Chain A
Amino acid sequence: MNNDLFKKLVDLYAGHELPSELEQEVESAAAVDSTMLVEMTTMRNTVDTLQGDPGPEFTEESYQRILMKLYARGAAIQPKAPSPAHLQYHLPIQG
């Protein structure tokens, strides 16, 4: 297999872009080619790690601070008061 075709197949495999039949063929070929196997595994793990990243949390504080910045700079938007703590949880009534 020439180098460009090999790289192209690995790129498509890593991004889950190969049709399932071709993916199986590539995996079979990699089973007897350790270089190819390492390349395919590491590239796919890289993509899967990125795609599984939940990202930074958009906290209530950030949400409110952005609203305040918009409001302070004259945008027609109203900052909302955060919900009071006693309204955030519903405790079961005992007795």
Chain B
Amino acid sequence: MAEKRWLTALSEGDPNALGAIYELYGERIFRYTFRMLGNRTDAEDATAETFLRVVRRSAELRADGAFRTWLFRIARNLCIDKLRQHKLMELPPDAQYSGAEERTTLRVTVHQALADLPLEYREPLIYCDLEEMSAKEAADILKISVPALKSRLYRGRRALRDKLGSAMERTP
């Protein structure tokens, strides 16, 4: 309900609306862009740019439940642009996790293996396994069918498992 109210307010030019929408979605978009880009600085830039585009395109807003898909599509397009720049500049990813040493080592290994996967496999894993979206929502963001999404998801999981090798043979 809060989302619908603030989206309506944003489309009507309410100056408080952007702050409220950032409060609702800022953390999720930051986490998503960090997972796509692998470093905090780029994730912060991409998150800010995502919300700026929301304001610029607020005339397109529809408070009908499709907002989250639309928002993630904006963030995704920005991440893909940045990844192309990364390829040119070869920026190193940040170490992003803290915690017990063994768990941290595994997470860094998983993060690196994930980063090495082709984007076609990595994105379904980010949406469905890390961001806990439904297959339908992930398929809508990627503009593909649900069976195509599931096929990429399953192949991505296998590819990740193969990269992780013996680390996945023990009980987590």
Q: Residues on A close to B: CB < 8 A?
A: 11, 14-15, 38, 41-43, 45-53, 55-58, 62-63, 65-67, 69-70, 73, 75-78
- B48 contact from A11, A41, A42, A70, Cβ within 8 A: A70
Give Cα A7–Cα B154 distance, bound, in whole angstroms.
10
- B107 contact from A53, A77, A78, Cβ within 8 A: A53
With known contacts A11-B154, A46-B164, A51-B132, A66–B110 Cβ distance under 8 A = no
- B110 contact from A41, A50, A70, Cβ within 8 A: A50
Give Cα A52–Cα B158 distance, bound, in whole angstroms.
17
Contact indicator A45/B18 (Cβ below 8 Å) = no
Besides A45-B169, A55-B35, 10 new A-B residue pairs in contact (Cβ under 8 A), listed by A number: A14-B157, A41-B169, A45-B170, A49-B110, A50-B114, A56-B96, A65-B44, A66-B51, A75-B52, A76-B18
Give Cα A47–Cα B114 distance, bound, in whole angstroms.
12
Contact indicator A48/B172 (Cβ below 8 Å) = yes
Contact indicator B34/A73 (Cβ below 8 Å) = no
Give Cα A38–Cα B106 distance, bound, in whole angstroms.
19
* B 92-106 contacts with A by CB, 8 A: 96-98, 106
Contact indicator A66/B172 (Cβ below 8 Å) = no
Contact indicator B30/A62 (Cβ below 8 Å) = yes
Q: Which of B40, B55, B168, B169 counts the most chain A CB atoms within 10 A?
A: B168
Contact indicator B44/A43 (Cβ below 8 Å) = no
A88 to chain B, nearest CB (A): 19
